[in-house]
Amino acid sequence: MNVLSDRLVNLFGALAVGITDRIKKAAFDPTIPGGGETTAAIVVIGHATGLSIDELGRVLGLSHAGTVRLVDRLVAAGFAVRSKALRDRRAVALMLTEAGETRLSAILQRRNETLSEILSHVSNADRLVLERIAETILAQMSDDAVSALTICRLCDERRCYNCPMDAFGMLESSTHRVDP
């Protein structure tokens, strides 16, 4: 067993909590109805376009009913649509509207700005180590596409070249994103 200092454990935990607070605060959009994970829902739908309500609920850790209401709010606000799934006529294929895509871009931009500002105080050499550490830990924190998407539910995955979470595959119902 390695020597693992209590101090590192605490600093690392505090860092995660503090950074997450900042991310959520930055990503929060008051024009999107509903608090909690509603903002994350837009990111997830944008990334895994065509996913079902059931899958979205598992990614966000919500009950089925809660997810239906969340989607109701998103649809009512004009940010997402329920379209017909290709394979399964029971299922719904969720996708963003133009307005939803606009919100998504704004969310991701604010998130990226916040994180960039924070990371700007870390030296170039340390950034390389940090990237390796993050990659190592992330790779062992997920089992499947759902848990990977849960962790990445506020990520700008289009700008995550060689994302380690791609190894966990995609959701059943989501269509492949076509790169612009």
In this chain, which of 85, 115, 168, 172 binds its own copies, going by CB under 8 A? 115
In this chain, which of 12, 69, 167, 169 binds its own copies, going by CB under 8 A? 12
Q: Residue 36: what residue type?
A: G
In this chain, which of 101, 150, 168, 170 binds its own copies, going by CB under 8 A? 150
How far apart (Å, rounded) are the C-alpha atoms in residues 134 and 138? 6
How far apart (Å, rounded) are the C-alpha atoms in residues 113 and 107? 10
Kindly state whether residue 89 participates in binding DNA, applying the rule CB under 7 A.
yes
Among DNA, its own copies, none, what binds residue 159 when CB lies within 5 to 8 Å by partner kind?
Answer: its own copies
Name the minimum Å distance from CB 40 to DNA.
10
Locate all alpha helices (DSSP H) within the chain, ordered by sequence: 6-27, 38-47, 53-60, 64-76, 98-119, 124-139, 145-151
Query: Would you say 88 and 135 are in contact if contact means Cβ atoms under 8 Å apart?
Result: no
Report DSSP state, residue 175: P
In this chain, which of 87, 121, 143, 179 binds its own copies, going by CB under 8 A? 121
Among its own copies, DNA, none, what binds residue 89 when CB lies within 5 to 8 Å by partner kind?
Answer: DNA
Query: Would you say 95 and 80 are in contact if contact means Cβ atoms under 8 Å apart?
Result: yes
Q: Of 52, 42, 175, whose CA–CA distance to 107 is shortest?
A: 42
Query: Would you say 49 and 177 are in contact if contact means Cβ atoms under 8 Å apart?
Result: yes
Judged by CB under 7 A, the number of residues near DNA is: 31
Kindly state whether residue 92 participates in binding DNA, applying the rule CB under 7 A.
yes
Q: Which stretch binds DNA (CB under 7 A): 16-24, 71-79, 119-127, 142-150?
A: 71-79
In this chain, which of 8, 65, 125, 178 binds DNA, going by CB under 7 A? 65
Contacting positions for DNA (CB under 7 A): 33-38, 52-55, 61-73, 82, 85, 87-92
